Structure 1
Amino acid sequence: MPVYGPGRWLNPGDRPEWCEVATAGRFTVPVDGGRFDRHYHDDHEIWFVAEGKGRILVDGAERYTQAGDVVLIRAGDLHDVVEVYETLRGFFVETGHPSGGRVGHLHRDPSDAAGHEVPARPLPADFPGR
């Protein structure tokens, strides 16, 4: 069984034959110099937020997220990390490509492919559990 450590993601080119997951790996958006790109996928994606706090765009709305959250993202929905309050670390899984599905981050606007700086801000007063 392959082990996918830091800097190595599971992807269609190196996953076991029995595995239907399209891709899986870790992500980090630090409070100092973090970057992310607004994108979508041809398949569904699941994030597990392991550490940190931030605001994300998913399902057409901005929402707070924090350690312990599971974020479900439908195929075709744009998603993004809008701002962070603490370094955000997590794990993602793309559930499996439909026939003809494309791998990786897909962009509706070519300028989104370059990514953007994710601003670090103080924790908002309305953040859950503050």
Structure 2
Amino acid sequence: MFTIRKMATIGLIALTVTGSTLALSTDAEAHNNFGAGLATGLAGGALLGGAFASAPPTRTVVYGPPVYAEPVYGAPVYATPAYGAPVYAPYVHCHTAWHQNHYGQFYQVRACAD
């Protein structure tokens, strides 16, 4: 919902941008107009800053004193999973070994102990 204050703020922003654009020259007319653009930007910034500073807060949040809750500790609950006890595969000791073919090229093989 737009209020008068919001419309005035939007108008001031548009006025500041337009004034800064008009105060500065284009590249084709490269004159020393830096001071005019700087003054316009500062004036627009001051107007917008004053508008934002004078606006009351939209919502005030009031917090009470801090509240600390005691943690609830109990005995851990261990139960057998619904799908049964875990089944572990026997450990097979495997390692990587380098072998050489009859051409003299090396290649890796996986060697597992039985």
Q: TM-score, normalised by structure 2?
A: 0.18
Which structure has more strand as a fraction of its residues?
1
Q: Highest Rg: 1 or 2?
A: 2
